[in-house]
Amino acid sequence: MSFQASQDKQAVTVIGLGPMGTAMTEAFLAAGHRVTVWNRTAAKADALVAKGAERAATVEEALAANELVVLSLTDYDAMYAILGPATAALSGRVLVNLSSDTPARAREAAAWAESHGARHLTGGVQVPPSGIGSPGSSTFYSGPRDVFEAHRHTLQVLTGTDFRGTDPGLAALYYQLMMDVFWTTMTGYLHAVTVADAHGITAEEFLPYASSIVASVPNFLTFYTPRIDAGRHDGDVDNLAMGAASVDHVVHTTEDAGVDSSLPTAVLEIFHRGLDRGHAGDSFTSLIGTFRKPVA
Ligand code: NDP
């Protein structure tokens, strides 16, 4: 199906046509935006061109086509690889960088873009490609507020927008905070699935129980948040000694099942460091102090 572009809609350039950039281009096309695309592997644009996107022959042409340029690349190195040789074409462009990287790299890139006369908005997309164009999806943004406000409406074609502030590193920071929770949680889940499997329990059988423990997490977060912000780690509800004994049981259950125990052992080692600092009677939230001041 080919889409009809509307004259009232802002035209956009999308550079980077991995699964994300492809989904973004499709969402813009479906919403009636004219879209110019460029990708290192040119063939990835073919299906999009068939749907109405315009193919730029060069990066310079892609930049010249539109003020608003969405970057969807593996990381910021890819951006430098693509835009580095085309800096003369950057002046006056708004780069909406929806590639993941660190806050420091986002700040560096914003300064680099400004030095070439472009404005830079950092983005952190919180959904997979299937969530692009869906209501309820969200992307963190940070950078110049006027640039964000000027393009907010167009960017909302992709996902909802959550402006975190003018520091270009903030969107990347919030994204990485989310990834911190996501990867740690999902790796814990995979570990439990492996132990379950060693006992002949399938992932399907484990699903309701895994879902139940994950669903209980927001209650814990809500309970501990005001205490954490107040710097209170009272051991009235839980204490680190009890937590360490519990994690120790997980380590031994894992070893007894013949499964790699390096993940719960790493958690146990962190708990022990808290105990060594004298926090046996405090809540496990006192581990924040251990994270803050790692042992040299
Ligand atoms: P991919 O890594 O699959 O796509 C990367 C794009 O970057 C491709 O267009 C690729 O070009 C290009 N690229 C990579 N390295 C270079 C280079 N050195 N020079 C030129 N082009 C390069 O990523 P996705 O599309 O999945 O995701 C894009 C961004 O969105 C990533 O930063 C990712 O972290 C983030 N994101 C992804 C999510 C997901 O579920 N996929 C979820 C949330 C965020 P080529 O086609 O030629 O290889």
The pTM of this model reads 0.93
Nearest CA to ligand 1 atom 29: 99
What is the pLDDT, as a whole number, of residue 4?
76
Q: Report d(CA 97, CA 202) in Å as an integer.
A: 41
| Residue of minimum CA distance from atom 18 in ligand 1 | 78
Strand 94-97, strand 160-165: pairing: unpaired
* Angle (CA) 96 102 106, round 5°: 40
Residue with the nearest Cα to atom 30 of ligand 1? 99
Element (H, E) at 15: strand 12-15
Looking at residue 253, its amino acid is: T
Gap between the Cα atoms of 256 and 248, Å rounded? 12
In what order do the strands lie in the sheet containing 138-142?
54-55, 35-38, 12-15, 68-71, 94-97, 119-125, 138-142, 160-165
- Structurally, at CATH architecture level, domain 174-291 sits in Orthogonal Bundle (1.10)
Widest pairwise Cα distance in the chain: 67
How remote is the C-alpha of 275 from its chain's centroid? Answer: 33
- 71 within ligand 1 shell (Cβ under 6 A): no
Beta bridge partners of 120: 95
Reading the block at residue 84, the tokens are 């580095």
CA 211 – CA 44 distance, rounded (Å): 37
Q: Angle at Cα 108 formed by Cα 105 and Cα 109, nearest 5°?
A: 85
Confidence (pLDDT) at 296: 57
- Residue 137 Cβ inside 6 Å of ligand 1? The answer reads no
- C-beta separation of 73 from 100 below 8 A: no
Shortest-distance atom of ligand 1 to CA 99: 32
Nearest ligand 1 atom, CA 75: 32
Eight-class DSSP state of 277? T
Q: Which region, left, alpha or beta, applies to residue 132 given φ > 0 means left and ψ of -120 to 50 means alpha?
A: beta
**AA letter at 275:** L
Residue 286 sits at the vertex; the CA angle it makes with 284 and 290, to the nearest 5 degrees, is 110
The pLDDT tens digits of the residues spanning 158-180 come to: 999 999 999 999 999 999 999 99
Nearest atom within ligand 1 for CA of residue 21: 25
For ligand 1, the distance from its centroid to the CA atom of residue 210, given in whole angstroms, is 31
Beta bridge partners of 140: 124, 162
Between the CA of 172 and the centroid of ligand 1 the distance, in Å, is 16
pLDDT in tens, the chain (296 residues): 678 778 789 999 999 999 999 999 999 999 999 999 999 999 999 999 999 999 999 999 999 999 999 999 999 999 999 999 999 999 999 999 999 999 999 999 999 999 999 999 999 999 999 999 998 999 999 999 999 999 999 999 999 999 999 999 999 999 999 999 999 999 999 999 999 999 999 999 999 999 999 999 999 999 999 999 999 999 999 999 999 999 999 999 999 999 999 999 999 999 999 999 999 999 999 999 999 976 55
Where does 12-165 sit in CATH, by number? 3.40.50.720
pLDDT for 222 equals 98
* Distance of alpha carbon 22 from alpha carbon 204, whole angstroms: 32
Return the pLDDT at 294: 62
Nearest CA to ligand 1 atom 11: 40
Q: Residue 262 CB: number of other CB atoms within 10 A? A: 10
CA 16, CA 150: separation in Å to the nearest integer? 23
Segments making up each domain of the chain, as ranges: 12-165, 174-291
Secondary structure of 187-207 in the HEC alphabet?
Answer: HHHHHHHHHHHHCCCCHHHHH
The rounded Å distance from CA 21 to ligand 1 centre is 8
Q: Is 124 in the pocket of ligand 1 (CB under 6 A)?
A: no
Extract the tokens encoding 71: 């970057």
**163 vs 139: CA distance, rounded Å:** 8
Asked whether 73 lines ligand 1 (CB < 6 A), one says yes
Which pLDDT value is given to residue 1?
67
